[in-house]
């Protein structure tokens, strides 16, 4: 599948490296070295995917994200040298699909792009309601969770939490989003609810709760359900 990718990155070497890596994968890459250039390219034509660096010479990539989110539903993957957690959370809450902290490997970049495309790629595709990885199967519409083919009983809260993660499988979901989705916006500060219910979910779904392979923690940011088996191919 050939994608038209917009890469906004001010560092020349990194821009060239990423462009070549993406072209090798068969994608069509347009590059911008500044915020204004990126905005201009966006206004000219449709793209399938946006790779956005944040520290740009003429402004913050956050501005581009905001303007993009007002009109379009194109997937946006943020790449940033900034390691500040607050910043990552703000971007995810502002509508970025995922983030990658520099330095990252090309393999990581491609995997995150695949996951983001699966969720946003074609806006006509139905929302994700099924999930399968190794021995676990989830069907949200039927409210069914199977482990090795046997039904797993989840409490309503556990199910809602799992559902929120399944809808964004492979992507990080911030604490605030999870809390708002499951307990309501008045509970967005109560991170300890998540700790307790994630522990319960792990006990029911993971082979070894102390070494999770499915319900992954992104320290300080949120949780990520490991990408669906289908998303990896």
Partner 1 sequence: MSAAPGAVEHPRTALGLGLVVWGLGWAAMLWLDGRLDLANLALAFVLTSVLSAIWWPAWLSIPVTVGAALAFNWSFVPPRGTLAIDLHHHALLLGSMIGVSAVVASLMARLRRHAAALRTAVERSEQLRQWGETLRDASDPIVHLGGLRDAVASLTQRPVTVLALKAAMPEQEDPRAAVLVGEVSGDMRAALWHCMRQGEAMGPGTHRHRELPAWYLPMQGRDSCRGAVAIGDVYEDDTTLRLQAQALCNQMGVALERLQTARDAAAAHERAHTHEVRNALLASIAHDHRTPLATIVGAASSLLQQAGRLAPEQRERLARTIVDEATRLSRMTDNTLQLARLDAPGVQLRCDWESAEEIVGTALQRARQRSPQRPLRARLEPELPLLWCDAILLSQLLDNLIDNALKFSSDDAPVELLVRRLDSCIMLAVRDRGPGIAPSWQERVFEVFQRGADHGDAQATAQVVQSRPGVGVGLAVCRAIARVHGGELRLRARGHGGCSFECLLPLKEAPPHPLERQPRPESVP
Q: Does 129 engage in binding with partner 1 (CB under 8 A)? A: yes
Nearest CA to 92 out of 116, 122, 71, 125 is that of 116
Q: Does 157 engage in binding with partner 1 (CB under 8 A)? A: yes
Structure tokens at 29: 């890459």
Judged by beta carbon, residue 40 or residue 85, the one nearer partner 1 is 85
How far is C-alpha 91 from the geometric centre of its chain's CA atoms?
A: 11
Q: Quickly tell me which residue has 């500044």 as its tokens.
A: 34
Count CB-CB contacts under 10 A for residue 18.
21
Near partner 1 by CB under 8 A: residue from 24, 44, 45, 83: 83
Q: Does 211 engage in binding with partner 1 (CB under 8 A)? A: yes
Q: Does 105 engage in binding with partner 1 (CB under 8 A)? A: yes
Cα 25 to Cα 231: distance, rounded to the nearest angstrom: 16
CB of 69 to partner 1, least distance (A): 23
Are the beta carbons of 221 and 174 closer than 8 angstroms? yes
Count Cβ atoms within 10 A of the Cβ of residue 118 and give its class: 0-12 exposed, 13-18 middle, 19 or more buried.
buried
Number of chain residues interacting with partner 1 (CB under 8 A): 39
Judged by beta carbon, residue 64 or residue 161, the one nearer partner 1 is 161
CB of 217 to partner 1, least distance (A): 4
Q: How far apart, in Å, do the first and last CA atoms of the chain sit? A: 12
Q: Does 148 engage in binding with partner 1 (CB under 8 A)? A: no
Length of the chain: 233
Q: Does 216 engage in binding with partner 1 (CB under 8 A)? A: yes
Cα 79 to Cα 51: distance, rounded to the nearest angstrom: 7
Q: Does 22 engage in binding with partner 1 (CB under 8 A)? A: no
Near partner 1 by CB under 8 A: residue from 113, 159, 170, 172: 159
Q: Does 185 engage in binding with partner 1 (CB under 8 A)? A: no
Cα 24 to Cα 71: distance, rounded to the nearest angstrom: 30
The SS3 of residue 186 is helix
Q: Which of these segments, 15-23, 36-44, 49-57, 195-203, binds partner 1 (CB under 8 A)?
A: 195-203
Q: Does 73 engage in binding with partner 1 (CB under 8 A)? A: no
Q: Does 196 engage in binding with partner 1 (CB under 8 A)? A: yes
Provide the binding-site residues for partner 1, judged by CB under 8 A: 83, 85-86, 103, 105, 127, 129, 140-141, 143, 155-157, 159-160, 163, 181-183, 190-193, 195-199, 202, 209-213, 216-220
């Amino acid at each position: 599948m050939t994608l038209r990718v917009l890469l906004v990155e001010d560092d020349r070497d990194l821009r060239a490296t990423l462009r070549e890596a993406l072209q090798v994968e068969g994608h069509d890459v347009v590059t911008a070295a500044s915020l204004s250039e990126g905005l201009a390219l966006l206004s000219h034509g449709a793209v399938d995917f946006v790779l956005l660096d944040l520290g740009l010479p003429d402004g913050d990539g956050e501005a581009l994200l905001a303007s993009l989110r007002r009109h379009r539903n194109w997937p946006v993957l943020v790449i940033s040298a900034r390691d500040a957690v607050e910043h990552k959370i703000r971007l995810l809450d502002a509508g970025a699909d995922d983030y990658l902290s520099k330095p990252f490997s090309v393999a990581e970049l491609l995997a995150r792009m695949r996951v983001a495309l699966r969720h946003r790629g074609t806006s006509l595709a139905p929302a994700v309601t099924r999930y399968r990885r190794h021995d676990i199967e989830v069907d949200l519409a039927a409210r069914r969770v199977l482990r090795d083919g046997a039904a797993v009983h989840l409490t309503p809260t556990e199910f809602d939490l799992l559902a929120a993660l399944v809808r964004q499988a492979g992507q990080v979901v911030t604490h605030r989003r999870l809390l708002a989705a499951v307990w309501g916006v008045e509970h967005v500060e109560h991170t300890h609810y998540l700790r307790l219910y994630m522990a319960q979910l792990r006990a029911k779904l993971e082979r070894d709760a102390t070494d999770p392979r499915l319900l992954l923690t992104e320290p300080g940011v949120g949780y990520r359900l490991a990408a669906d088996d289908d998303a990896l191919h």
